[in-house]
Amino acid sequence: MSNKTESPTSRTATAAAAVMAPEKVTPEKVSDVVPPQGDIAVLAYFYWEARGCPDGSPEEDWLRAEQELLDRIAQQTE
């Protein structure tokens, strides 16, 4: 048995891959879809890092990530 643990970078990359490929949603279910909070959190973290990890305004990154995921879901149904 290996004592090797998964690195934080590896976990983040795995979570990011899940965010980048959300589950297929049918058009009639789009209005019922709410992106999982974990997916929003991961994407918001990437946005925060891209902005240089500033203090304050975490809502900006959260709302941007939530909208991005909602847009991706809507595009899948077109």
| DSSP string over 33-67 | ----HHHHHHHHHHHHHHTT--SS-HHHHHHHHHH
Q: What is the mean pLDDT of each run of 10 residues along the chain (78 residues)?
A: 47 51 55 83 95 91 94 82
- Between CA 57 and CA 33 the distance in angstroms is 25
pLDDT of residue 68: 94
What pLDDT score does 35 carry? Answer: 87
Whether the pTM exceeds 0.75: the reply is no
Give the pLDDT of residue 76.
79
As a whole number of angstroms, the distance between CA 17 and CA 11 comes to 10
Query: What pLDDT sits at residue 9?
Result: 45
DSSP state of 69: H
* Residue spans per domain, the chain: 33-78
